């Protein structure tokens, strides 16, 4: 028999942990996070799950009728549809072309502009300005500049005796042109990140290296580059993700052409959904795209961790 | 040549090199400005940066051919709303992620990061139905809510988190001693200490909101 006294004592004992500081803190944390978490679930996670659901159906946006087809959309994309693999390879070519060019240029610009010197602030503004230009305006202006005969770029090249190609009408050159103009537009962002990282490199390290007689290249290779590693990883991951998600730039500059030479994944998804109204297939493509991006991101982080250890 | 003049010469050469590199960055800008004074034929026909005649009426016609003042105002006020919401929500979340201990923090981060990996085009169809269901279609709410909780919101949260991590803990502890609640510490100590981060988030959010108003939206409203 338990006496009433001991009963209340055990009750107090079990209730007590609810009021510990730890729990209180966790509860407060979730309160602080609640707007973010609710928004994330409602506007991102929920829709993403819905997209996965759509991908298992055949659903035409015009007829508004969805029928369950299981994994058929996936087998279609990966096996039967001749468009998919070229589109995926276009996306990868775009990323492989853009990321190294962007990062190398960003690093070079940052190295030459990180110190306070005459004109450096001015040039930082010049190189950053395209980042905050409207993507629409940027693409339209470049489209004019890259016209075949009459375009400004080809006219400039003509003055030095080079016969420029019809940039946006030949598949290979079109890919190069969209990569180049995208790099020019976005490199300023990475430059700023690199400048911020460079400015936090302690001057003493460099001074010590100079006393030891290290060359500039040695200082960069053995001191600055290793210290930049965390920034480099962030820039690489974010730039890769951004380049695989590219849509508006290509939509406006080439419309995926010529001969689908610049048709990339995000644009292909858009085309299937909003031009052919095939939501099921588009959703399956979107899920595949998400998996590709996720895999590449995890790969980059894993490679970096292995190199670091 | 003395050392001083030698340095001056290398500096000047360097500035010239930078100017050449800057051409593709600056040319579209200058071309746009020049184009704003040209007539239609000249915009398409010539690549010169100096218009043959200065045509001020372009700036008047912008307001006559379309409700440009209204469009401009919409962009601005939506950008203001997006920035204000983003600031409050991301700094709250960033503070919790940086300073409070709770189970699942790492996992939550990972989840939030995944929002960066999905293009907005992917979730636009379910979101389209969602806003229809919420009866918010043809209002400005989707334009405000999607960026606040989309990838820019996540980026802002991380910026805030990184900055909060760098604030000395002692200050907050002092605040606790003086009897401030968590919310009080966030509002009275953490936020005032992180003005640079708040400024950065405001600038980035505002600019991207103004600049990246999606063209696609019109096409999607089939």
Q: Kindly list the residues from chain A whose CB atom is less than 8 angstroms away from the CB atom of residue B121.
A: 247, 266, 269-270, 273, 286
Q: Are residues A140 and A205 in the same domain?
A: yes
Minimum CA–CA partner of B19 in chain A: A123
Q: Are residues A232 and A164 in the same domain?
A: yes
The answer to whether residue A111 is domain-embedded is yes
Q: How confident is the model at residue A182 (pLDDT cuts 50, 70, 90)?
A: very high
Looking at residue A223, the DSSP 8-state letter turns out to be I
Q: Kindly tell me if the per-residue pLDDT of A304 is higher than 90.
A: no
Q: Are residues B12 and B71 in the same domain?
A: no
Give the Cα separation of B182 and A11 in Å (integer): 29
pLDDT above 70 covers what percent of chain A? 94
Give CA separation, B222 vs A62, A204, A273, in Å. Answer: 10, 61, 11
Give the Cα separation of B139 and A176 in Å (integer): 40
Q: Are residues B81 and B126 in the same domain?
A: yes
**SS3 of B60, please?**
helix
Q: Are residues B143 and B43 in the same domain?
A: no
Q: Are residues B103 and B191 in the same domain?
A: yes
Q: Are residues B122 and B154 in the same domain?
A: yes
- What integer pLDDT is reported at residue B170 of this predicted model? 87
Q: Kindly tell me if the per-residue pLDDT of A35 is higher than 90.
A: yes
Do the Cβ atoms of B115 and A112 come within 8 Å? no
Q: Considering A13, A38, A55, which residue would you say is the last residue of a domain?
A: A55
**SS3 of A68, please?**
strand
The answer to whether residue A72 is domain-embedded is no
Give the Cα separation of B89 and B87 in Å (integer): 6
Q: Are residues B55 and B71 in the same domain?
A: no
B48-102 per-position pLDDT tens digit: 778 888 888 889 888 888 888 888 888 888 999 999 999 999 999 999 999 888 8
- What integer pLDDT is reported at residue A49 of this predicted model? 93
Q: Are residues A102 and A209 in the same domain?
A: yes
The answer to whether residue A71 is domain-embedded is no
Q: What distance in Å separates residue A48's CA from the closest CA in chain B?
A: 6
Indicate the Cα dihedral angle A266, A271, A276, A282, nearest 10°.
0
Q: Kindly tell me if the per-residue pLDDT of A6 is higher than 70.
A: no
Whether the CB of B106 is below 8 Å from some CB of chain A: the reply is no
The helix-helix angle for B151-166 and B141-149 (nearest 10°) equals 50
Q: Contact A107/A284 with Cβ under 8 angstroms?
A: no
Query: Which H helix or E strand runs over A151?
Result: none
The answer to whether residue A31 is domain-embedded is yes
A186-228 per-position pLDDT tens digit: 999 899 889 988 888 888 888 888 888 888 899 899 888 988 8
- What integer pLDDT is reported at residue B124 of this predicted model? 82
Q: Contact A151/B28 with Cβ under 8 angstroms?
A: no
Q: Are residues B52 and B91 in the same domain?
A: no
Q: Total domain count for chain A?
A: 2
Q: Considering B31, B62, B93, which residue would you say is the last residue of a domain?
A: B62
Task: Tell which wins on pLDDT, A1 or B172.
Answer: B172
Give the Cα separation of A122 and A137 in Å (integer): 23
Q: Are residues A214 and A137 in the same domain?
A: yes
Model pTM?
Answer: 0.82
Q: Are residues B79 and B114 in the same domain?
A: yes
Q: Kindly tell me if the per-residue pLDDT of A16 is higher than 60.
A: no
Q: Kindly tell me if the per-residue pLDDT of B165 is higher than 90.
A: no
Q: Which residue has the tokens 């096996």?
A: A79
Q: Are residues A251 and A289 in the same domain?
A: yes
Q: Kindly list the residues from chain B whose CB atom is less than 8 angstroms away from the CB atom of residue A118.
A: 11, 15
Minimum CA–CA partner of A139 in chain B: B28
Residue A289, judged by CB atoms within 10 A of its CB (0-12, 13-18, 19+), counts as buried
Q: Kindly tell me if the per-residue pLDDT of B7 is higher than 60.
A: yes
Average pLDDT of A262-289? 90
A43-63 per-position pLDDT tens digit: 999 999 999 999 999 888 777
A125-160 per-position pLDDT tens digit: 999 999 888 788 888 889 888 887 778 888 888 888
Helices (H), chain A: 4-15, 21-40, 46-55, 72-75, 84-113, 120-128, 135-145, 152-159, 171-199, 203-211, 216-219, 225-244, 248-253, 265-274, 279-308
Q: Considering B31, B47, B62, which residue would you say is the last residue of a domain?
A: B62
Give the Cα separation of B210 and A29 in Å (integer): 32
* DSSP per residue, B6-54: HHHHHHHHHHHHHHHHHHHHHHHHHHHHHHTTS-HHHHHH---SS-SS-
Q: How confident is the model at residue A15 (pLDDT cuts 50, 70, 90)?
A: low
Domain that holds residue B36: 3-62
Q: Are residues A239 and A144 in the same domain?
A: yes
- What integer pLDDT is reported at residue B219 of this predicted model? 33
Minimum CA–CA partner of B211 in chain A: A134
The answer to whether residue A60 is domain-embedded is no
Q: Are residues B168 and B190 in the same domain?
A: yes
Q: Are residues B25 and B90 in the same domain?
A: no
Q: Are residues A264 and A143 in the same domain?
A: yes
Q: Kindly tell me if the per-residue pLDDT of A276 is higher than 80.
A: yes
B8-51 per-position pLDDT tens digit: 898 899 899 999 999 999 988 888 888 888 888 787 777 777 88
Q: Kindly tell me if the per-residue pLDDT of B178 is higher than 60.
A: yes
Q: Are residues A41 and A175 in the same domain?
A: no
- What integer pLDDT is reported at residue A180 of this predicted model? 95
Mean of the per-residue pLDDT values of chain A: 86
Give the Cα separation of A257 and A6 in Å (integer): 80
Q: Considering B17, B36, B62, which residue would you say is the last residue of a domain?
A: B62
Q: Are residues B111 and B162 in the same domain?
A: yes
Write B63-70 long-range contacts (CB < 8 A, 24+): none
Average pLDDT of A34-38? 95
Do the Cβ atoms of B47 and A155 come within 8 Å? yes
Q: Total domain count for chain B?
A: 2
The answer to whether residue A64 is domain-embedded is no
Q: Are residues B57 and B70 in the same domain?
A: no
Domain that holds residue A274: 81-308
């Amino acid at each position: 028999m338990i006496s009433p006294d001991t009963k209340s004592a055990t009750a107090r004992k079990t209730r007590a942990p609810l009021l510990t500081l730890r729990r209180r803190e966790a509860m407060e944390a979730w309160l602080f996070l609640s707007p973010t978490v609710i928004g994330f679930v409602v506007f991102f996670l929920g829709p993403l799950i819905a997209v996965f659901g759509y991908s298992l159906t055949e659903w035409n946006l015009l007829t508004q009728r969805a029928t369950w087809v299981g994994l058929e959309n996936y087998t279609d994309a990966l096996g039967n549809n001749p468009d998919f693999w070229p589109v995926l390879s276009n996306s990868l070519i775009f990323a492989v072309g853009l990321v190294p060019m962007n990062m190398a240029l960003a690093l070079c610009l940052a190295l030459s502009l990180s110190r306070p010197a005459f004109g450096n602030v001015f040039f930082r503004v010049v190189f950053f300005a395209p980042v905050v230009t409207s993507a629409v305006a940027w693409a339209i202006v470049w489209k004019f500049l890259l016209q075949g005969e009459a375009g400004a770029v080809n006219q400039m090249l003509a003055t030095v005796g080079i016969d420029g190609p019809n940039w946006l009408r030949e598949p290979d050159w079109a890919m190069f042109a969209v990569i180049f103009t995208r790099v020019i537009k976005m490199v300023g962002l990475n430059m700023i990140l690199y400048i911020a990282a460079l400015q936090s490199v302690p001057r003493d390290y460099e001074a010590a290296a100079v006393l030891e007689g290290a060359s500039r290249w040695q200082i960069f290779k053995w001191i600055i580059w290793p210290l930049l590693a965390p920034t480099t990883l962030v820039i690489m991951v974010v730039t890769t993700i951004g380049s695989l998600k590219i849509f508006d730039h290509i939509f406006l500059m080439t419309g995926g052409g010529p001969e689908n030479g610049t048709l990339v994944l995000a644009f292909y998804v858009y085309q299937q959904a909003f031009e052919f109204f095939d939501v099921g297939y588009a959703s399956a493509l979107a899920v595949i795209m998400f998996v590709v991006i996720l895999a590449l991101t995890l790969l980059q982080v894993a490679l970096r961790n292995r190199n670091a250890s | 040549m003395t050392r001083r003049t030698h340095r001056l010469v290398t500096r000047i050469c360097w500035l010239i090199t930078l100017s050449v590199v800057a051409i593709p960055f600056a040319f579209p800008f200058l071309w746009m400005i020049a184009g704003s004074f040209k007539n239609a034929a000249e915009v398409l026909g010539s690549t010169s940066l100096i218009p043959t005649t200065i045509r001020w009426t372009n700036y008047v016609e912008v307001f006559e051919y379309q409700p440009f003042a209204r469009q401009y105002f919409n962009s601005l006020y939506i950008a203001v709303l997006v920035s204000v919401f983003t600031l409050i929500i991301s700094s709250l979340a960033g503070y919790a992620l940086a300073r409070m201990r709770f189970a699942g923090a790492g996992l939550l981060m990972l989840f939030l990061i995944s929002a960066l990996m999905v293009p907005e085009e992917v979730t636009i169809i379910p979101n389209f139905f969602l806003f229809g269901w919420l009866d918010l279609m043809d209002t400005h709410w989707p334009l405000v809510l999607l960026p606040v909780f989309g990838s820019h919101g996540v980026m802002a949260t991380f910026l805030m988190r990184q900055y909060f991590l760098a604030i000395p803990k002692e200050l907050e502890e002092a605040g606790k001693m003086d009897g401030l609640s968590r919310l009080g510490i966030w509002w009275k100590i953490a936020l005032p200490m992180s003005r640079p981060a708040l400024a950065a988030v405001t600038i980035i959010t505002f600019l991207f909101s103004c600049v990246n108003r999606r063209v696609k939206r019109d096409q999607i409203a089939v």
